[in-house]
Chain A
Amino acid sequence: MARKVAIVGTGQSKGARKRGDVNLAGLVAEAVKLALEDARLDPEKIDAVVLGSAPEIFEGVNYPECWLGPAIGALDKPIIRVYTGGTVGASAGIAAYYHVASGLYDTVLAVSFEKLSDGVPMYGLSVTYDPLWGRDIAAGAAGLVALQAHQYMARYPHITVEHLARAALNDRTNALKNPNAHIRVKLTLDDILNSPMIASPLTLHMCCPTTDGAAALVLVPAAKAKQRRKKPAYIRSVSTCAEGAYYPGMDIAAPMSLKLAGQWAYERAGIKDPVEELDVVELYSPFAPHNLIWGECLQLAKPGEGWRLVDEKFCGLQGKLPINPSGGVIANNPIGASGLIRQIEAARQIMGAAGEFQVKKPKLALAHAWGGWVQFHNLMILADQP
């Protein structure tokens, strides 16, 4: 029987375009220190570490786990590194979950990071495209998402660019309250719509920044969680799902991998009506259309009704189901860490530690992450009770 698991400590560095004052190891150590302090834990108490980072080409050091393990106080400990594209931070959290759930390890640290200022992210992302078939059209992530948005809007003509801009407005407005967010600018709907075009239909303010940042989580068995903090965030379920980028029938405007991941996570958590039962959602939305597309796949709205999810009365901080109260990935995107930050923000909501963007007494929170060619998705559902 698998053990129940809880998150008892979270830490993240403040997002910035360039952290010239620290190297990669220093940046990662910052987040780890915060997470350990948050869990009131000595580094020696850590039994195992899971590291997650995006392409090594971003920072130019291969096998970064070899370097960073010792740098974060994890000397002479079991360490593995997962790497699943954009989902990776969340994959690290989930791998850490299985370390504890398996019964083999008690106190596990999940760490993820990205120091995008050390490299050229656009180049790094473009080499993910297939060397033979993909490089001619390779244009980082925005190229792919533009295609995705057009496909989505062509399918549902009543969805307009204004709906996309409203999603961006929600996240950007929320980010104003998040001290860790990288981009915090007060914008109007017109500002977003009229900002420079990056890749049609995505304007500048509908796109994520490139950020230096790191994040860390401390996980322990649920039975021991209260020893570390009064209000831990209990993990109700996790799920991961993949699909082939070139698999016949791949639907980038409604990826099957996310629909399945959602079904699995809800089923395992005993959730029947996600909109009614969930209290807060952190989606991995580096581009504005994602709040609509991911939301539909996760049964937060019916197919084609993603527009409901950008209404302030629904997704706003005081809304029915707040989406991205932290401001999300669009405001803060250290790629490898972004997935783990979703889990952190969801956990902090449950812990009642989200500060100015705290949602009122949430019982169930959902954290999502996306990676690869709309093909890797994973979810974590957190609860205030074991």
Chain B
Amino acid sequence: MPKRLAIVGWAQTKHERRKPLDNDWDLIYPTVKAALKDAGISHDEIDVCLEGASDYLDGRGISNYTIVDGLGGQLKEEAKVSMDAAYAFIYAALRLWGGPFEIAIVSGYGKGSEGVEFHWQTNTLFDPFYGQPLGLDALSAAGLQASAYFHRFGVTEEQAALVPVKNKGNAFRNPNAQVRKKLTVEQVMKSRPLAKPIKREDACPVSDGAAALVLATEERARQLCRRTGHQPVWLLGLGHCQEAFSLGARDLTVAKAAQAAAKRAFRMARIKNPLQELDVAEVYEPFGFQELMWYEALGFCPPGQGAALLEKGLTEMGGKLPVNPSGGALAANPMLATGLIRIIEAAAQVAGRAGPMQVKKRVKRALAASTNGVALQNCAVFVLGGS
């Protein structure tokens, strides 16, 4: 068993549709600085700097080139993971476990407002010969997935609409959320169709924002938390996995990569019955129905029963296992920071620092989940815990 690691500080921006006055540096530098302050450390104490950033989202090559010092990487051990920053968090943990390091800063930022039109941006995620000419994009792929999922399990659009109703409602308690709405199922159903059966209210927004957290080895974490008076949030388990690329080669109705990631994370965290043992979860759901698929993949319920679980209120704020008290990606989606924000929100619940989002029950174990690629192709699962 590797040495114990804990999250000891974090920060995020307020997420907005457009932050015209902030460039990527303006987004990341104050956020990293705030995370260091939250952890009670200075730049000098950083051993490793890791970030999640993407050239194609930033519209330039080597996107960490001008901002690496703002990320906390000036004359530090550093690497960029070109995926959601939650995967940079994985690499940070591997570095602390396998290297002569004690403290890592992990960050991610998204400036969706600067991107080209969504279709052209995500069309290039597909194979240039067989995928791109069909006009596929991240949205239409999710539409295909939703159709397949609904059809197989007899889930209705109305049932799936309960996810945005819950999450955008939860977002009222989240001071950083971009989208806060008191919705009814009917309003979701009547919102503008995007890619059948996905409608405007089922989909995440385009956001500008950033997030950063500090991860430390056990001894240092205890020392820092004595300094700050915060609770260390232990990383109990993690796992990630990627399934097939071609949509036709996948069973789109099951989040297979999420299942495998969860299996690994739960084995490490010694969790046998997630619904009983977890107290709160934050999952990355770019589209509402995918939260239902997460429930199933994470073992909260059998395949196809996600909607029923939600209808019973189990994942509501006051439920047995609240999911996305922050509002999740439906409330804000600064791409590549979104997964890291799930980890931060879950950590805040464990530390009792989630403010108005804090769930009523005592949080001993929290789960965070992230995804990368199209239609949940690559998934990562994290289990966090208190003392």
Contacts and interface: CB of A to CB of B under 8 A. Distances in A.
Interface in B225-266: 239-246, 249, 256-257, 260-261, 264
A196 interface: no
A80 B68 contact: no
Interface stretch (A157-165, A239-247, A280-288, A344-352): A239-247
B154 interface: no
B371 to A, nearest CB: 11
Contact of A243 (B1, B56, B74, B264): B74
B218 interface: no
Contacts of B373: 63, 65-66
B320 interface: no
Interface string B52-67: 0011100111101111
A70 B244 contact: yes
A98 B124 CA distance: 31
Contacts, number: 207
Contacts of B94: 95, 98-99, 101-102, 104
A179 B13 CA distance: 52
Contacts of B260: 76
Contact of B97 (A102, A124, A130): A102
A117 interface: no
Contacts of A81: 81-83
Contact of A61 (B61, B127, B241): B127
Contacts of B241: 76-79
A66 B91 contact: no
Interface in B87-126: 87, 90-91, 93-95, 97-100, 121, 124-126
Interface in A89-146: 91, 94-95, 97-104, 124-125, 127-131
Interface in A231-263: 239-247, 256-257, 260
Interface string A345-381: 0000000000000000000000000011101100000
A99 to B, nearest CB: 6
Given A62-B56, A81-B83, A104-B94, A268 B242 contact: no
A186 B264 CA distance: 54
A185 B54 CA distance: 38
Given A76-B242, A128-B60, A60 B76 contact: no
B124 A82 contact: no
B49 A242 contact: yes
Contacts of A78: 239-242, 261, 264
Counting chain A CB atoms within 10 Å of each CB, which of B75, B240, B372, B374 scores highest? B75
B2 interface: yes
B277 interface: no
A69 B65 contact: no
A127 B60 contact: yes
Interface residues of B, number: 64
Interface size class of A (residues with CB under 8 A): 35 or more
A244 B69 contact: yes
A268 B244 contact: no
Nearest to B92: A98
Given A102-B93, A242-B73, A66 B68 contact: no
Nearest to A92: B79
B77 A372 contact: no
B197 interface: no
Contacts of B68: 242-245, 372, 375-376
B219 to A, nearest CB: 14
B40 interface: no
Nearest to B78: A242
11 contacts: A57-B55, A62-B124, A66-B125, A78-B240, A85-B62, A91-B79, A102-B98, A128-B62, A240-B78, A241-B78, A246-B66
Interface of B: 1-2, 49, 54-56, 59-62, 64-70, 73-83, 87, 90-91, 93-95, 97-100, 121, 124-129, 239-246, 249, 256-257, 260-261, 264, 372-374, 377-378
The 7 nearest A-B residue pairs measured at CB: A244-B69, A101-B98, A128-B61, A242-B78, A102-B97, A55-B61, A83-B82
Given A79-B241, A85-B65, A101-B97, 9 more contacts: A65-B242, A74-B242, A78-B240, A85-B62, A102-B94, A104-B94, A127-B61, A260-B75, A376-B78
